[in-house]
Each structure stands twice: as C-alpha cells, then as structure tokens.
Amino acid sequence: MKLAFSTLGVPGLPLDDVLRLASEHEYHGVELRAHPEEPVHPGLDGTERAAARARFESSGIELLGLAGYARAAAPGDDEAVVEEIRSLLALAHDLGAPYIRVFPGADPSQSAEEAEAAAARRLGTAAETAGDLGVRILLETHDSHRTGADAIRILGTVGHRQVGALWDVMHTWLGGEQPQESFAALSPHLGYLQVKDIASAEDTTPLPLGEGILPLADVVEHLSREGWDGWLCWEYEKRWYDAAPPLPPLLTPGREHLSRLLNESA
C-alpha cells in the first residue's frame, strides 16, 4: 500500500513546502484540501494550474486527490451542486489527480429517501464529466452517511464506475461499524482510505497515529487479508483543532507506525 498525508494537517502551507515535507518524511503522495484558504483550489487560472502540476511532476510526489466540500445530498437545486463537483473534476484533471472527494451532507430537514435520491441523481450526472476527464468522484463516509452501509445506499443507486467511496475510518467507527463490515460494503467502490487517531468518541482531537483508540491495526490487517493494495492517507485535522500539536514533527513517526502495521499484516 502507498502512504499519503492530507494538507488539512498543515493548513495554508505553500505547495512547495508541502512537497518538501512529503519527500523528507518519505510519503508517496499528498491529498490537497481544495479550498480558497489553500494554495490550490478551483479558482486557480490555467497558468497557476500548470505550475502546480509541474511542481508535483518534478518532485516525484503523487497527487492522490483533491478534498473538496461539495455536499451531494444537500437540500436545494441540483445544478449548483453538480457545477461545484464539475469544477473540482476540472481542477483534478488539470493537476493530474485521479480522485476528488465530496461529502454526503444531507440535512435533518430531509427524509433519507429524498436526500439519497438527490445525491445519486447529482453524482450520476457528474459521473459523465468525470468519465470524460478521467477522474473519479469519491463519496466520503462522513456526516449524514458516516458508515459503509449508509454510503452504499447512495453508491449502489448511482452504479457508475466513476463514482466510488472514500473510507474515513473514524466515521465508520463512530457509526458503530466494524472494519470488516465497512470493507464489505465499500470494497466494490473503494478509492482509498483516510486514517487517523483520536482519544475517544467524545474527544475527536487528532492524536499521533497509534496513540488513540481507532482500530487501525484491524483495518490494515483486514485490507491485507483481502488483498487490497491502494492508498492510506493520514488526515490529521489540525485545521479544526488549534490545540493539536503541529503535524510536521509527527510525519515520520506516523509513517513508521503505518509501515509497522503493514509489515505485521503481510
């Protein structure tokens, strides 16, 4: 498996510094948070996109994906959601990223049936653009649909190869799902995984990998047993937790922890 980290852990850091960290700490790739607060986002012009792509190509670090904020199941008009997804797809294509991330994002005011039908309809529409651009849309296990069983109700309806799943191991665990249950639901659609660690269900402040209670060893063991050989991306949510220690000093210990888990499960 290949290892990456998310720039959510180093908010606002210039791209050259992100790539330097990835290289120095021996990660294979990075996931970029695609938001106007960050150096890479859909508002970049063509020259800026070409420059960012060239930086990745010269660094030898892979761009795993763009973590966007479109909410596929949100109430409202379809067109705005589809256009937000398409703008992310275009950016990913221009940068050479294989994936974009979207959230479910249903509102409590919606019925489950209404929200899931809207998400499936919008993702199915955007999938045609995704196919043309060679980029895959990944629905993250998050917010209103945090488990694999939740996500599959949308993905199974879409039924398009360009729409898949991003497995956030914290959210499936918080939703009461065991790793083998999450994998069974998501494996036909799985793009990659976001791994992390926390102290408890009540305290989700990010911790160094291996210092919390999330079942990372069980997840890696199950993936290895099933022969899955994709990406593990460490999403250290420093952007939302000011008190969390800085990510850069944790990057090498985090990579070493994941490597140990991979070796033990081999």
Rg (CA), the chain: 17
CA 175 – CA 168 distance, rounded (Å): 11
- How confident is residue 226, by pLDDT bands cut at 50, 70 and 90? very high
Q: Up-side HSE of residue 114: CA atoms within 13 Å toward CB?
A: 10
Q: Hey, what CATH topology would domain 2-265 get?
A: TIM Barrel (3.20.20)
- Which residue shows structure tokens 């160094």? 208
Burial class from Cβ neighbours inside 10 Å (0-12, 13-18, 19+) for residue 161 reads exposed
Pairing of the two strands 163-168 and 29-33: unpaired
Confidence of residue 266 (pLDDT cuts 50, 70, 90): confident
Q: Give the whole-angstrom CA distance, residue 123 versus residue 160.
A: 9
Locate the domains of the chain by residue range. Answer: 2-265
Give me 225's structure tokens. Answer: 């047993």
**Mean pLDDT of the 42-54 span:** 98
pTM: 0.97
Which tens digit of pLDDT belongs to each residue from 169-211?
A: 999 999 999 999 999 999 999 999 999 999 999 999 999 999 9
Query: What is the pLDDT, as a whole number, of residue 225?
Result: 95
The Cα–Cα gap between 260 and 58 comes to 29
Percent of the chain clearing pLDDT 70 (strictly above): 100
At residue 175, the 3 state secondary structure works out as coil
Would you state the pLDDT for residue 265? 84
Q: Is the pLDDT of residue 168 over 90?
A: yes
DSSP for residue 105: -
Q: What per-residue confidence (pLDDT) applies to 61? A: 98
Q: How far is CA 124 from CA 157, 163, 165, in A?
A: 9, 8, 14
Q: What is the SS3 assignment for 192?
A: strand
